[in-house]
Homo-oligomer: A and B are copies of this chain.
């Protein structure tokens, strides 16, 4: 049996990424009901909002779901308290040190997964008792590592370095990429951008629509001096480039960023002034269907890809070289 399915008690090793301003209880429960693992994105939620989403998610699905917690979140103690009290079975932590929360969460019976951008942190996660890692490649949307390692290069190197299950993330928007990730040795996949552009995503319609018009070159990793983030190119992105081109210092960049830019762009639909966090796979996204339809589509593409790959293999293992 697939190790990710076994770990979470789900039917397909497909995780819907916890994303700010996109993944509330509607999206997470839709994915969990299809047999994947839906995640609430707590990074854009006040504690009471998170509590409400957890409760609604429990009402909307009897299947396991989880919460993504960026470890840089200021009110993190309250978040963790609510997660434990509400009996959420799975927590994905990101953007921080896995040593701090893993033990406490696991003592409370919670499965802990940590997001890593390189081999070094993956090995540390395993040492600290983390149950699985998400290898997030350079092509992923939103905040990203400084090493700029792509999914293609990161997944096999992490798979070789740890024995815990590995979930591939970054650049996975259809079933071909799911098959590719599994070929690289991943035990499962995490899909963000594609689920951000569904009916159940709480992102603004303007944001979703904009993504469906994006091409392959529409996103860039930027703000590397502050905290690298992959954004759709827009006016705000251009302003940041301009500041960087004249060697503005970190404080100037932070001042220009200000607060609430992601909310403005993703949730309020201000396409000029908002931070439009999305992955490079945006260029493959052309429609805004229900999350369940996306789930079915991806499973179908995956199955077709694997069977075509097997049928058309240009070299078989029983051939003599």
Interface residues of chain A, those whose CB is within 8 Å of chain B, are 2, 5, 12-13, 118-120, 137-139, 147-154, 156-157, 160, 170-172, 174, 176-177, 179-185, 215-217, 220-221, 246-247, 280-281, 283-284, 296, 299-300, 302-307, 309-310, 312-317, 319, 321
Of B137, B182, B309, B321, which one neighbours A296 at CB under 8 angstroms?
B321
Q: How far is the CA of A99 from the CA of B153 in the complex (A)?
A: 33
Q: A171-B152, A179-B183, A183-B309 are in contact. Are A147 and B217 (CB under 8 A)?
A: yes
* Beta-carbon contact of A215 and B119 below 8 Å: yes
* Beta-carbon contact of A177 and B152 below 8 Å: yes
* Beta-carbon contact of A118 and B149 below 8 Å: no
Q: How far is the CA of A181 from the CA of B154 in the complex (A)?
A: 15
For this chain, the copies found in one complex come to: 2
Distance between A211 CB and nearest chain B CB, rounded to angstroms: 14
Of B220, B302, B307, B314, which one neighbours A12 at CB under 8 angstroms?
B314
The 7 A-B residue pairs whose C-beta atoms are closest, nearest first, are: A152-B171, A247-B247, A303-B317, A180-B180, A179-B183, A310-B310, A180-B183
Q: How far is the CA of A137 from the CA of B154 in the complex (A)?
A: 14
Which residues from chain B contact A312 at a C-beta distance below 8 Å? 2, 182
Which residues from chain B contact A139 at a C-beta distance below 8 Å? 138, 149-150, 152-153
* Beta-carbon contact of B283 and A221 below 8 Å: no
* Beta-carbon contact of B2 and A216 below 8 Å: no
Which residues from chain B contact A154 at a C-beta distance below 8 Å? 216
Central interface residue in A160, A185, A215, A217, by most chain B CB within 10 Å: A217
Of B152, B247, B314, which one neighbours A13 at CB under 8 angstroms?
B314
Distance between A321 CB and nearest chain B CB, rounded to angstroms: 5
Which residues from chain B contact A281 at a C-beta distance below 8 Å? 152-153
* Beta-carbon contact of A216 and B149 below 8 Å: yes
Which residues from chain B contact A148 at a C-beta distance below 8 Å? 138, 220-221
Central interface residue in A139, A299, A319, by most chain B CB within 10 Å: A139
Which residues from chain B contact A179 at a C-beta distance below 8 Å? 180, 183, 309
Residue of B nearest to A307 (CB): B317
Which residues from chain B contact A317 at a C-beta distance below 8 Å? 300, 303-304, 307
